[in-house]
Amino acid sequence: MERADVIRQWQLRLREEPAGRMLVAGIGTQRDWEFRCEQLLRA
């Protein structure tokens, strides 16, 4: 796997985070995320 080092690095970072934090991931274009963030700020 060509990105195994990057995956291991993120796994270590996630294990070190406090239990009260959450990571959220999503799929979309940059414009999709810009629109979503703008909508959240307007709410």
Compute the C-alpha angle 3/25/30, nearest 5°.
Answer: 90
Confidence at residue 39, expressed as pLDDT on a 0 to 100 scale? 94
* Position 29, amino acid: T
* CB-facing half-sphere around the CA of 12: CA atoms within 13 A: 6
Of the candidates 6, 21, 14, 28, the one whose C-alpha atom is nearest the C-alpha of residue 37 is 28
The single-letter DSSP state of residue 17 is: S
Helix (H, G, I), strand (E, B) or coil at 31: helix
Could you list the pLDDT tens digit for every one of the 43 residues in the chain?
578 998 899 889 888 988 888 878 888 999 999 999 999 999 7
Confidence at residue 17, expressed as pLDDT on a 0 to 100 scale? 87
